[in-house]
Structure 1
Amino acid sequence: MSFFAIVVLAFSMSMDAFAVSVGRGAAMGRPRFSETIRTGIVFGVVEAITPVIGWAAGVAAARYVSAVDHWIAFGLLAAVGANMLYAAIRNKADDDTRPAMSFAVLMATAIGTSLDAMAVGVSLAFLQVNIIVIAAAIGAATFLMSSGGMFVGRLIGERFGRIAEGIAGAALIGLGSSILYEHLLA
């Protein structure tokens, strides 16, 4: 696999994490630098691990993973998206008191947005590739995109925070529904 193909793959795998991070950064108003880095690390590490898991599963386990991955992705993404929509809609007088994204919600979001990378990992098992290089590239791209997304969200800030969080929540539900729809039709 060429360097260019690896870069395109890495950034493609990180786009959903970027969208979630933009919404979350905007919803938090002024996320701390540590929260931004934590988000990038969690998304990057999870996104780097999942293609390795998929690759290791290989051909033998592909039918088991593909039988349920769309339901898992849909469930996680819809739950996190619904939570984000609820947070965007609820009436709260002081947005500065909103807590940071809990680690459990952050992990669920990271796992939900990285299941597509697991499927890519399964497909990479059929190719002669260095999965460690590809996984590291995906993790690094996702770290950059997630951290950058939090900063972009910070720029649009409090004024658009609820709208951005609502859009990100709806996008997660849409992404999960799209994954489910594609797999059920196939």
Structure 2
Amino acid sequence: MSLLTIIVTAFALSMDAFAVSITNGILLGDANGKEALKTATYFGLFQGVMPLIGWLLGIKFQDYITKIDHWIALILLGFIGAKMIYESFKDEPIVCENSENPRECLNTKTMIMLSIATSIDALAVGVGFAVLRVSIVQAVIIIGLITFVVCFMGVFVGKHCGLLLKKNAEILGGVVLILIGVKIFLEHTNLLANIKIFH
């Protein structure tokens, strides 16, 4: 997996956390830099750690699944992407929506729960990194940093722009993950031998 593909994957994985960051910005209304920093730190940290956990799990079984690694990547990324798209259309209540104090959305317990929920997909991708022999240190740093920056911006985007971008972010992330899964599968079956995109 090339550096560019890892970067694109990082952006796609960050879209769930970005969507929640937008929601936080909407709920807070007058979010400041400190609150944006707190949101970005939680999401960036968890989004970076989860692929490492997935990689550690996947590396134990690497020898048994190398022959089907492209199928694993296709299924994992395809499923995660489809799930993100599906959930973007679900009309579920936003965390802390009915709270009299919207800043309760940024308490430690809630932020940990949100961080775990939005980074589960990254755990599964970490398993895929193991079978594809991706440099996990590089991937973890890139995913964590990109998520941090995206979520920091997301709080202020939510503060000024509203709910529309939240749904579109999840759809975009889902589509990108599906396309990456298809790309990996086609490359490993030699169907993209003459295509240089992402190389």
Range into which the TM-score falls when normalised by the shorter chain: 0.5 to 0.7
**Whole-angstrom CA distance in 2 between matches of 1:104 and 1:76:** 19
Q: Does 1:24 align with 2:20?
A: yes
Counterpart position of 1:40:
44
**Whole-angstrom CA distance in 2 between matches of 1:57 and 1:161:** 44
Counterpart position of 2:128:
119
Counterpart position of 2:162:
161
Judge which range, 149-158 or 112-121, deviates more: 112-121
1:154-183 CA-to-partner distances (Å, cap 9, x unmatched) read: 232333231111112222443465477779
> Identity of aligned pairs, percent?
12
Amino acid corresponding to residue 167 of structure 1 in structure 2? N
Amino acid corresponding to residue 151 of structure 1 in structure 2? F
Q: Which runs of 5+ in 1 are unaligned?
A: 125-130
Q: How does 1:92-107 map to 2 (within 5 A)?
A: 97=102, 99=105, 103-104=112-113, 106-107=115-116
3-state SS of 1:86 partner: coil
Q: 1:38 to 1:105 in 2, by over 3 A?
A: closer
**Whole-angstrom CA distance in 2 between matches of 1:45 and 1:35:** 16
**Whole-angstrom CA distance in 2 between matches of 1:109 and 1:65:** 24
Judge which range, 172-181 or 28-37, deviates more: 172-181
Q: Which runs of 5+ in 2 are unaligned?
A: 26-30, 190-199
Q: 1:175 to 1:49 in 2, by over 3 A?
A: same
**Distance apart, 1:46 and its partner CA:** 0.8
Asked whether the 8 Å contact 1:40–1:143 carries over to 2, the reply is: yes
Asked whether the 8 Å contact 1:51–1:118 carries over to 2, the reply is: yes
3-state SS of 1:14 partner: helix
More helix by share: 1
**Distance apart, 1:119 and its partner CA:** 2.4
1:126-158 CA-to-partner distances (Å, cap 9, x unmatched) read: xxxxx7xx3222111111111100112123233
**Whole-angstrom CA distance in 2 between matches of 1:70 and 1:10:** 15
Asked whether the 8 Å contact 2:76–2:125 carries over to 1, the reply is: no
**Whole-angstrom CA distance in 2 between matches of 1:143 and 1:27:** 20
Asked whether the 8 Å contact 2:46–2:115 carries over to 1, the reply is: yes
Q: 1:46 to 1:167 in 2, by over 3 A?
A: same
3-state SS of 2:163 partner: helix
**Whole-angstrom CA distance in 1 between matches of 2:57 and 2:98:** 44
Q: How does 1:46-61 map to 2 (within 5 A)?
A: 46-61=50-65
**Distance apart, 1:65 and its partner CA:** 6.7
Judge which range, 166-175 or 73-82, deviates more: 73-82
Q: 1:150 to 1:43 in 2, by over 3 A?
A: same
TM-score normalized with structure 2 length: 0.61
Aligned pair count reads 172
Aligned CA-pair RMSD: 4.0
1:35-66 CA-to-partner distances (Å, cap 9, x unmatched) read: 22110110000123333433332231345776
